[in-house]
Amino acid sequence: MNQKQTEIWHTIIIGAGASGLFCAGSFSASKLVLEHNDRAGKKLSVTGGGKCNFTNLFLSATDYVSSQKHFCKNALAAFKPQHFTDILAQEKIPFYEKEKGQLFTYDAKEVVKLLEKRAKKQNSTFSYNTQVLSIQKEKDFFRVQTSKGVFYAYHVVVAAGGLSYPALGASGFAFQAAQSLGINLIPIRPALVGFRLPEPWRNICRSLAGNSLSCTVKTQNREENGQLLFTHDGISGPVVLQSSLFHKEGEKIFINFLPQKDALAILKNNKNKKETFSKILSAFIAPKISRLILQELDLPACEATKEILHRAAERLNRFECTPVATAGYTKAEVTAGGIDPQTIDSHCMQSKEINGLFFIGEALDVTGRLGGFNLHWAWASAYVCAQHLKKE
């Protein structure tokens, strides 16, 4: 860093993750980017299984969960998927559509490199291994206390993310800062995360750990389809992660292990056979899985009473359980809840109370579904913030 610590930066950006990097590269001004990791985009470089599902072609405000459902609309209208694909195309970074509009690159690290390069071109200085400890508003500037001393700026952009994946740098700093500055928070929780199930199902999941199948998972107000993965203490996989965003603690979930198949009709049609239910259903579901799900109900069809037949079918088509917990922030892809959108101007992400203070990305109470929506929110919120700061 060339500038003396006593100089006042135009903008300090806290966090060199997805939103902080994108903001830093979207306007030219003297900017200091403070990051407590030893490099930029540590989380970004592992997104999408290392391939970065950076946006979704079909996105709309209904793909996001927020206490203010209209809040995300301005930013999403200002920044479209094509804006990001144009940036990738300019830099000759190839990308492809995987499914349902989900766009991926071939290497997430290329995206990090590109965003870092773009930020440096726009007069950004990076300070790594620098943990931000607090933000204070003085008269017309901010005082930012860090592990490397105090820095000053006219504007501060908090791009510090949420609490998910602490191993990659998540710290909850954005929430602490908001609280200390009197900004309201919507209660936070891990989202896009697996569920821990109660016994005896936990034990059964452990026996099936690593196996996956296509399922439907229903929560109180939503039904999702996709792959379910058994883990050592519960269930995960895309369909479960997606459901976790809409699930409220203590609510039941219903799993259909045989989507689009009427288990009762199949079992009834085979009720005189000597084969067990799991064998009869083997064309549709791996016997190892159905045997463990059915447990005591997995009888030879000809020996099963009408009641057992109905219960077996119900367990496969409408398995009911109440998760005891989620797999927590260490495994959650995102943090739901956060900075109350009512306290933020949706056109530029500036605090309505504290002039010059901005929050972008995951720290805000805007959480996307699985499929590129969260990174798109990081870009879009950073973009509108940068458009505003450009004029300051």
Decide whether 134 or 387 has the Cβ nearer to ligand FAD. Answer: 134
The answer to whether 43 and 161 are in contact (CB under 8 A) is yes
The answer to whether 311 and 325 are in contact (CB under 8 A) is no
Distance (Å, whole) CA 338 – CA 183: 10
Looking at beta carbons, which residue is closest to ligand FAD? 17
Decide whether 238 or 259 has the Cβ nearer to ligand FAD. Answer: 238
Decide whether 44 or 215 has the Cβ nearer to ligand FAD. Answer: 44
Distance (Å, whole) CA 236 – CA 34: 34
Residue 132 as a binder of ligand FAD (CB under 6 A): the answer is: yes
Decide whether 43 or 155 has the Cβ nearer to ligand FAD. Answer: 43
Decide whether 298 or 333 has the Cβ nearer to ligand FAD. Answer: 333
Distance (Å, whole) CA 68 – CA 364: 11
Residue 365 as a binder of ligand FAD (CB under 6 A): the answer is: no
Q: In the chain, count of helices (H) and strands (E)?
A: 13, 23
Distance (Å, whole) CA 154 – CA 189: 32
Beta carbon of residue 168, minimum distance to ligand FAD (angstroms, whole number): 7
Among 87, 205, 378, 386, binds ligand FAD (CB under 6 A): 378
Beta carbon of residue 193, minimum distance to ligand FAD (angstroms, whole number): 10
**What residues from 164 to 183 belong to the interface with ligand FAD (CB under 6 A)?**
164-165, 169-171, 173
Please name the residues in contact with 122: beta carbons below 8 A apart, sequence gap of 6 or more. 24, 25, 26, 27, 28, 29, 31
Q: What are phi and psi of 336, to 5 degrees?
A: -90, 160
Beta carbon of residue 270, minimum distance to ligand FAD (angstroms, whole number): 43
Counting residues that bind ligand FAD (by CB under 6 A) gives 40
Among 8, 10, 30, 37, binds ligand FAD (CB under 6 A): 37
Residue 263 as a binder of ligand FAD (CB under 6 A): the answer is: no
Among 12, 13, 18, 366, binds ligand FAD (CB under 6 A): 18
Residue 53 as a binder of ligand FAD (CB under 6 A): the answer is: yes
Among 159, 193, 339, 386, binds ligand FAD (CB under 6 A): 159
Counting Cβ atoms within 10 Å, is residue 8 exposed (0-12), middle (13-18) or buried (19+)? middle
Residue 375 as a binder of ligand FAD (CB under 6 A): the answer is: yes
Decide whether 74 or 367 has the Cβ nearer to ligand FAD. Answer: 367
The answer to whether 216 and 239 are in contact (CB under 8 A) is yes
Residue 214 as a binder of ligand FAD (CB under 6 A): the answer is: no
The answer to whether 322 and 170 are in contact (CB under 8 A) is no
- For residue 390 the two structure tokens come to 């450009």
The answer to whether 131 and 146 are in contact (CB under 8 A) is yes
Contact set with ligand FAD (CB under 6 A)? 14-20, 34-37, 42-44, 46-48, 52-53, 131-132, 159-161, 164-165, 169-171, 173, 333-334, 361-363, 372-375, 378
